[in-house]
Structure 1
């Protein structure tokens, strides 16, 4: 009896393994594990370890449902730990391109650009560029929170047009673990960095502390929403959101499109960014910039955030041909931002 059950389970596990190895998610996970020697070595030994334990109790003639469950739980727990710790690698891409952690490009046409360092609440040093208008004290200051890849150098052109076409100062900051900033990436750490940027701008004597605007694109949108709900940011002048999502679990289920992922409970996610819940507490005037041709984050996420927003003054500007990263190049984009800010 034990032998026949053992053979059945072995064949079943073999079939499951073949299905998993063919999935895109497992290929990505294997690539991540290979970059982390300790995790890779452990994952390589995991099947042999489980087989050794399984063979031991079968060889001793022991057939125990309890032991079966114990081994199953141990295997699932180990896989869960590996997946949990690999989530950061699947979400954050600070090294795309490879030079992003050592080289932050500038553009020559920006004459007044300060390279500054902001100290986060835990002492982490955050790098940023401040692009100042010719009359900075008379203009709003937009703090721009970027997406999940690269550094602020690749947003400099965008920042320049915000400054020149909308008549604002622009602070381009890069989160911990990105660009020239120190520290290790984490959701709570990034929130601290975003808040530190707001405090920095408010303390500058050459900037108007009553006209601080926070703006976020993609992942940066989730960070902007969190920042807007912080008690110290209740006086923020305005909030601008572009092509962002309702929550990370929601977008993970959409991007990965695997039935198993859809059954994963929310507490299994290391990073959550629950923007839909948080935006109900937003009271600042809010502008939503939605690229309707976004194939990464469905525009319906922006629609849901707009409807759920607690702001009494909110506007939605849609761009039919705007995709995830280049909506800012669409005609009327900067006019929409400028008009919104002038209406406040």
Structure 2
């Protein structure tokens, strides 16, 4: 009986070790999905298909990787907010065009859509280190433009894009006016525990010693929970309560960590929102929430002066 139990324990331990080994060996393939099953890496459509005013932008990241982006304007001389949009991990920026089209109409903004390295027409292979450089290259490009109001750059990230956007916003307190996160996870290792439940016994939860040890071997930890508390700018959290990929409690944990620093945090739940369609199922309320957030924290120059005058009275 004892030998049977020992064999069982050794077998279970072996499965866990093998699972962790596979997670480490194939982690980039699990985290990043530049090509959707059955489709090609190329863009299925361009903004022109949706009659959007846009510009093809080519950038070089600081390590020399050539990146592609689309800069889409509400109208040619639009000085409204400029949204730097970071997408989820699967597919490319073309798969987000319909949402961006509606975003531009509702927010009356410009949108800069970056293809991470290895995605769409961008060169290279995705990694946290590399994508962080890509995001910085996109922001630096926007800050150098003369056809937008560079004081009204807003970072918007969904899922993986939220992790990317949080790091960028934290690193650029003087360049990014505000941050919007939608259905973002606390960390890749926490997500590994969700997608591969047996790993929970090994990695524990956020803050566990085993989790911190694994961070040394995970090349793309994207530990948003460890970064969010360092963001100084206002943050809007948009959470779909029917999210089938990222458990909604991840967003609540991020909000709690961020709210401990400053009161400039807003958390809004959408009861029928799933991982990819919260913007759609949320309807008018979703867009009105963002409009009100931008009016409060990223006002037009004349509104800003009016607020300053009111304070001086």
TM-score range, shorter chain: 0.7 to 0.9
The count of residues paired between Structure 1 and Structure 2 equals: 280
CA change 1:325–1:156 in 2 (3 A) is same
**How far apart are 1:202 and its partner, in Å?**
0.8
Matched, 1:313 2:264: yes
1:94-243 matches, cutoff 5 A? 94-107=34-47, 108-134=49-75, 136-230=77-171, 232-243=172-183
| Paired residue secondary structure (2:98) | helix
| Paired residue secondary structure (1:99) | coil
> Partner of 2:187 in structure 1?
247
Matched, 1:336 2:285: no
CA change 1:265–1:301 in 2 (3 A) is closer
Please list the CA deviations of residues 61-85 of structure 1 after superposition, one character each: whole Å capped at 9, or x if unmatched. Answer: xxxxxxxxxxxxxxx7x98665422
> Partner of 1:89 in structure 2?
29
Find the aligned partners of 2:173 and 2:66 in 1 and give their Cα distance.
21
Matched, 1:16 2:21: no
Find the aligned partners of 1:104 and 1:127 in 2 and give their Cα distance.
15
**How far apart are 1:12 and its partner, in Å?**
4.3
Find the aligned partners of 1:115 and 1:342 in 2 and give their Cα distance.
29
CA contact (8 A) 2:79 2:147 kept: no
Greater relative CO, 1 or 2 (CA 8 Å, sep 6+): 2
Find the aligned partners of 2:44 and 2:68 in 1 and give their Cα distance.
10
| Paired residue secondary structure (2:186) | coil
What is the RMSD computed on CA atoms of the aligned residues?
2.6
Please list the CA deviations of residues 259-288 of structure 1 after superposition, one character each: whole Å capped at 9, or x if unmatched. Answer: 554365433323211111111111111111
> Partner of 2:230 in structure 1?
281
| Paired residue secondary structure (2:56) | strand
> Partner of 1:302 in structure 2?
251
CA contact (8 A) 2:34 2:120 kept: yes
> Partner of 1:37 in structure 2?
none
Find the aligned partners of 1:95 and 1:261 in 2 and give their Cα distance.
31
CA change 1:290–1:80 in 2 (3 A) is closer
> Partner of 2:309 in structure 1?
none
Please list the CA deviations of residues 90-130 of structure 1 after superposition, one character each: whole Å capped at 9, or x if unmatched. Answer: 11111114434223422523330212112111111111111
**How far apart are 1:135 and its partner, in Å?**
5.2
CA contact (8 A) 2:78 2:110 kept: no
> Partner of 1:266 in structure 2?
212
Please list the CA deviations of residues 193-236 of structure 1 after superposition, one character each: whole Å capped at 9, or x if unmatched. Answer: 11111111111111111111001000110111101111x44341
Larger mean Cα displacement after TM superposition, 104-113 or 163-172 = 104-113
Find the aligned partners of 1:246 and 1:112 in 2 and give their Cα distance.
35
Find the aligned partners of 1:288 and 1:295 in 2 and give their Cα distance.
17
Find the aligned partners of 2:251 and 2:293 in 1 and give their Cα distance.
18
CA contact (8 A) 1:104 1:180 kept: no
| Paired residue secondary structure (2:39) | helix
Find the aligned partners of 2:22 and 2:163 in 1 and give their Cα distance.
26
Find the aligned partners of 1:261 and 1:151 in 2 and give their Cα distance.
33
CA contact (8 A) 2:78 2:109 kept: no
Higher helix share: 1
**How far apart are 1:190 and its partner, in Å?**
0.5
Find the aligned partners of 1:193 and 1:86 in 2 and give their Cα distance.
22
